[in-house]
């Protein structure tokens, strides 16, 4: 039997002489996922956050010349509870979203890296807009999330063929002095994790590193240290991307700014908490890729960008440390 929920009932009159304000308030109600019971009467599942947001919105409506009253109540019984919950069924919205992904899949291989990146950002915002107001998740949300994850995986495969799978196990701590003057090998057509890892290797681990850009991971010589492909000496482990694994393997966590730079690489490679600077880095790399640079040229160009980002993050860390009591 469905449990009885508490609900927030917002009864309002929007200002009649301010069309801009009416549109702004209507969009705010829609963005919060409010269901319409009738003209001027809106419903939301009751939470403290939602209550605070609707109270603030009601105050704004009053200041604009309208009126708003917020009531907290409960369903009268199971039938009304089911009726109220049905108003928040997002199945149609999820279906529209998954159809858009199916259409996008047909042309994905024809898009440039920049177009794919923009498509992923736009589709990600669309999915978040639906899921953020999906208060009663069901099979439709599960199917849509699976479709979104499959689409992201496909897009990443197109952007970077041969992307490594997550491996399990402990990360061994290694000595930098045992890894000098080595050949290091990774997949050609560098993208975020590989170019950042190659920069990290040459900057912090092996200043005399020689890089081999492989058409296929199977081409990796036995005496080379592979990175960022399945079976490589250094690849994804747990929830860490190759860059983060290299940082941990060679004890580089205390290098100023390096962990924050790792968060940027992580976010761009497999997703995660947003790092504001990531958008700029991705734009620069997309532009460099559009210029058809060789992998050696790509590494040289992006190394300058990574040097600057590291200096930026290190300076920010120093500033933050100075503010602590």
Q: Which two tokens stand for residue 185?
A: 């090998």
Dist. CA 251–CA 268, nearest whole Å? 23
The pLDDT of residue 197? 97
Of 3.30.70.240, 3.40.190.10, 3.90.1170.50, 2.60.40.2580, which CATH number belongs to 6-86? Answer: 3.30.70.240
On whether the CB atoms of residues 184 and 201 are closer than 8 A, the answer is: yes
CA distance 82 to 90: 15
Residue 222 Cα distances to 185, 188, 268, angstroms: 10, 18, 30
- Rounded to 5 degrees, φ, ψ at 185 are -130, 140
Domain boundaries for CATH 3.30.70.240 within the chain: 6-86
Backbone angles phi, psi at 60, to 5 degrees: -65, -40
Which pLDDT score, from 0 to 100, does residue 55 have?
A: 95
Q: In what order do the strands lie in the sheet with 183-187?
A: 210-214, 183-187, 225-226
User: Is this model's pTM higher than 0.85 or not?
Assistant: no
Separation of alpha carbons 98 and 91, rounded Å:
10
The number of beta carbons lying within 10 Å of the beta carbon of residue 42 is 22
Q: Would you put residue 15 in left (φ > 0), alpha (ψ -120 to 50) or beta?
A: beta
| For the chain, the helix, strand and coil percentages under 3-state DSSP, each to the nearest 5 | 55, 15, 30
pLDDT at 283: 86
Q: If you search the block for the tokens 């120093």, which residue do you land on? A: 318
Q: What is the pLDDT of residues 165-208, one digit of tens each?
A: 777 778 989 999 999 999 999 999 899 999 999 999 999 999 99
Which residues in the chain show pLDDT less than 50? 1
Give the pLDDT of residue 170.
Answer: 84
| pLDDT score for 274 | 78
59-90 pLDDT, tens digit per residue, is 999 999 899 999 999 999 999 999 999 999 99
């Amino acid at each position: 039997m469905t449990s009885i929920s508490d609900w927030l009932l917002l009864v309002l009159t929007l200002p009649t002489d301010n069309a801009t304000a009416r549109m702004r308030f209507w969009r705010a109600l829609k963005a919060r996922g409010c269901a319409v019971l009738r003209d001027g009467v809106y419903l939301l599942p009751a939470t403290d956050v939602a209550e605070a947001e609707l109270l603030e919105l009601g105050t704004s409506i009053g200041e604009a010349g309208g009126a708003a009253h917020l009531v907290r109540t409960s369903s009268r019984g199971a039938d009304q509870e089911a009726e109220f919950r049905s108003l928040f069924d997002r199945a149609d919205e999820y279906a529209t979203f998954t159809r858009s992904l199916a259409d996008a899949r047909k042309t994905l291989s024809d898009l440039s890296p920049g177009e794919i990146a923009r498509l992923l950002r736009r589709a990600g915002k669309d999915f978040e807009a639906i899921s953020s107001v999906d208060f009663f998740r069901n099979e439709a949300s599960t199917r849509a999330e699976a479709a979104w994850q499959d689409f992201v995986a496909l897009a990443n495969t197109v952007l970077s063929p041969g992307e490594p799978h997550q491996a399990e196990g402990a990360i061994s701590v290694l000595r930098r002095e045992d890894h000098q003057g080595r050949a290091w090998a990774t997949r050609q057509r560098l993208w975020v994790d590989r170019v950042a890892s190659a920069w990290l290797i040459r900057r912090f681990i092996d200043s005399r590193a020689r890089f081999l850009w492989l058409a296929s991971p199977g081409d990796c010589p036995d005496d080379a240290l592979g990175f960022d492909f399945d079976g490589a000496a250094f690849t994804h482990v747990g929830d860490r991307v190759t860059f983060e694994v290299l940082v941990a393997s060679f004890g580089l966590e205390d290098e100023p700014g390096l962990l924050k730079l790792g968060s940027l690489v992580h976010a761009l490679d497999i997703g995660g908490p947003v790092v504001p600077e990531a958008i700029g880095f991705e734009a620069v790399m997309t532009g460099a890729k559009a210029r058809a640079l060789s992998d050696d040229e790509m590494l040289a160009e992006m190394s300058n960008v990574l040097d600057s980002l590291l200096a930026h993050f290190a300076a920010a860390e120093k500033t933050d440390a100075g503010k602590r009591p």
